[in-house]
């Protein structure tokens, strides 16, 4: 006569806490995290992407009437050792000089000061760009240290925001 599994001493069920990591910059970063977490014993439950918008800060010099009139300023930037700039050839800012698009306002302001130190009148324009962020959810065994999974991740994503799954 077969005994019910509850009487046979079935293996105890392993419980896990579900974590959601959001804000990966690329699908490759998510894939690397999935591999590392799975090797470490995580139960990968889902992954995907969220499309949205992100705020950026564009530093530029105002447009000139022609591209030829921008040439002396381009030369001045080169002589000053400024490397990452370009002349905008079309659109609303045609003949303006782009000095970079920054993810933080502080970075844009540093660039603005650098250019103003050359006695050039740069400005910062706040822009909105399309953005994608990737996420993943996984179960982490409750019998292991709650945040030990972080050590499995690549250094560039260890500090990514985590929260409990919904």
d(CA 4, CA 127): 65
Fold (topology level) of 14-52+131-164:
Alpha-Beta Plaits (3.30.70)
Domain 54-129: which CATH class?
A: alpha beta
Q: pLDDT-based confidence at 82, cuts 50/70/90?
A: very high
DSSP 81: T
Q: Do domains 14-52+131-164 and 54-129 have the same CATH topology?
A: yes
**What per-residue confidence (pLDDT) applies to 4?**
55
Domain boundaries, the chain: 14-52+131-164, 54-129
Q: What percent of the chain has pLDDT over 90?
A: 66
In this structure, are residues 61 and 115 in contact, taking their beta carbons and an 8 Å threshold?
Answer: yes
d(CA 20, CA 29): 15
d(CA 138, CA 141): 10
Residues 4-49: pLDDT tens digits? 555 555 555 668 899 999 889 899 999 999 999 999 999 999 999 9
In this structure, are residues 128 and 56 in contact, taking their beta carbons and an 8 Å threshold?
Answer: yes
The tally of CA atoms less than 13 A away on the side-chain side of residue 155 is: 0
């Amino acid at each position: 006569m077969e005994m019910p599994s509850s009487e046979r001493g079935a293996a105890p069920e392993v419980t896990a806490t579900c974590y959601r990591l959001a804000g990966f910059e690329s699908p490759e970063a998510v894939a690397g995290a999935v591999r590392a977490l799975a090797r470490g014993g995580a139960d990968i439950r889902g992954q995907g992407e969220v499309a949205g918008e992100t705020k950026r800060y564009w530093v530029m010099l105002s447009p000139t009437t022609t591209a030829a009139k921008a040439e002396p300023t381009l030369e001045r930037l080169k002589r000053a050792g400024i490397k990452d700039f370009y002349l905008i050839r079309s659109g609303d800012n045609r003949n303006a000089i782009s000095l970079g698009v920054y993810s933080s306002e502080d970075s844009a302001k540093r660039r603005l000061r650098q250019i103003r130190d050359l006695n050039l009148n740069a400005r910062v324009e706040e822009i909105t760009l399309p953005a994608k962020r990737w996420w993943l959810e996984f179960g982490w065994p409750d019998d292991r240290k709650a945040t030990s999974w972080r050590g499995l991740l690549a250094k560039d994503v260890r500090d990514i925001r985590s929260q409990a799954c919904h």
